[in-house]
Amino acid sequence: MNYRHAYHAGNFADVLKHVVLTGAVESLKRKDAPFFYLDTHAGRGRYRRDDPAMQQGREFLTGVMRVLGCERPPAVVARYLEVVKTDVTPQGELTSYPGSPLVAQALMRGDDRAALCELEPAELATLRLALGRDPRFHLHQRDGYEALGALLPPRERRGLALIDPPYEEPTEFARLADALQTALTRWPAGVMLAWYPLARRGGAAAFLKNCRAELRRPALSVELLIRPADSPVGMYGAGMLVINPPWQLDAALGEAAGWLATAFGPQSRSRVDWLVRE
């Protein structure tokens, strides 16, 4: 695998992904019963600002740092920023950025449980150190797609899965669609969060069209576009597919996405679309 997330840590797509993750976790916490969290592509957990890869990309400067400087964020964004600010100095300097495992760790309660999957041994070792001795977390060196069949359904019966693949292969959207069908067959009530890039030559439009036609569960897409769709430079946006969204999460994410679009500048916009209505 050539992809290294450290080049992109803290960028606009990470902000969107982790805001949606925060909203889903906080929604699950409205009930006292414990929940299960599965992360299929966990990464290293924490991305240090002084990492050469993060310094080379420096995408966090136009991502999370721009959001940190804005006032009056909606509740979901504010909760996400509380997690991020544990790695911000009193002078406002970002020392590191938390990946999804650390965001979840900060939000989860004592009786909630998580399974994190990461194929790369070095990334997994760093993730283990980042989490510390947390008995709620179980780490697996295994293919995350395979884990959706092997680790579901959880004994808690409620919870969420985050699927955040690197999209290096042209077949990634097809693999994601198959994995979601497998996961929902085994765990029909599970909340599924799947991140996807928006790019001129991407497959997001076909993937979402397939979701409209094939999914038999409530589903919505939350997208953040930071430049025009015909932009020749990399991704013009990113999205999150949310299947089985908890009650009122759509409204909270719509407010959050609209606020983020304002924070990221005049070219940015957001959209929240029900693919399959409740």
The answer to whether residues 139 and 169 touch, using CB atoms and an 8 Å cutoff, is: no
**Rounded to an integer, what distance in angstroms lies between the CA atom of residue 202 and that of residue 216?**
25
Q: Which H or E element spans position 223?
A: strand 219-225
**Rounded to an integer, what distance in angstroms lies between the CA atom of residue 38 and that of residue 217?**
19
Q: Which residue has the tokens 């996807």?
A: 196
Q: DSSP state, 197?
A: E
Q: Which H or E element spans position 162?
A: strand 159-163
Catalytic residue of the set 87, 164, 178, 273? 164
Decide if 164 is catalytic. Answer: yes
Of 102, 105, 119, nearest to 46 by C-alpha is 102
The answer to whether residues 48 and 96 touch, using CB atoms and an 8 Å cutoff, is: yes
Strand extents, DSSP E, 12-99: 36-39, 46-48, 96-98
Of 232, 233, 227, 223, nearest to 256 by C-alpha is 223
Could you check whether the bond before residue 74 is cis, i.e. omega within 30 degrees of 0? no
**Rounded to an integer, what distance in angstroms lies between the CA atom of residue 173 and that of residue 224?**
19
Q: Which residue has the tokens 């030559």?
A: 201
- The residues that are catalytic are 164
